[in-house]
């Protein structure tokens, strides 16, 4: 079987990488509400910071939208699937917009002035 696969790759070349489509416009405020209501925060933290024991970090280096949507719909690991019956396409875009809107952690040396 390995030889057949290698032969096909040599003959036809490797499959081209899938192009990533642009994320649909979403409402970050509504996405935050959904993120909390749907329980995303329980594994990924309230601002997508993740945790070693529960779920990976989602921010500030968010994966492309297509990969995000695929992971929610058909998770690769122990995460429960969020089918279209649970999270609509519009809601998915809103959650992604929220995650993208979360600022990264402060850089060393940054000073926050409190009033």
> Would 29 be classed as within a structural domain?
yes
What is the DSSP-derived secondary structure letter of residue 50?
A: -
Least confident of 12-16, 57-61, 106-110: 12-16
Reduced DSSP (H G I as helix, E B as strand, rest coil) percent helix, strand, coil of the chain, to 5? 40, 0, 55
> Would 56 be classed as within a structural domain?
yes
Sign of the CA dihedral with 80 first, then 86, 88, and 92 last: negative
Our count of domains for the chain comes to: 1
> Would 15 be classed as within a structural domain?
no
Model pLDDT for residues 17-66, shown as the tens digit of each residue: 445 668 788 999 999 999 999 999 999 999 999 988 889 999 998 999 99
Q: For residue 32, what is the domain's CATH number?
A: 1.10.760.10
> Would 13 be classed as within a structural domain?
no
| Residues of the domain holding 92 | 23-101
- Please say whether the beta carbons of 62 and 44 come within 8 A: no
Model pLDDT for residues 63-93, shown as the tens digit of each residue: 999 999 999 999 988 899 999 999 999 999 9
What angle (nearest 5°) sits at the alpha carbon of residue 96, between those of residues 104 and 43?
70
């Amino acid at each position: 079987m390995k030889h057949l696969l290698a032969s096909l790759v040599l003959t036809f070349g490797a499959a081209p990488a899938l192009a990533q489509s642009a994320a649909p416009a979403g409402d970050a405020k509504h996405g935050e509400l959904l993120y909390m209501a749907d329980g995303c925060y329980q594994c990924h933290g309230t601002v997508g910071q993740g945790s070693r024991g529960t779920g990976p970090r989602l921010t500030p280096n968010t994966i492309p939208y297509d990969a995000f949507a695929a992971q929610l719909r058909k998770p690769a690991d122990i995460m429960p699937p969020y089918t279209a019956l649970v999270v609509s396409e519009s809601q998915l875009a809103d959650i992604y917009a929220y995650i993208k809107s979360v600022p990264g952690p402060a850089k060393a040396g940054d000073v926050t002035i409190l009033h």
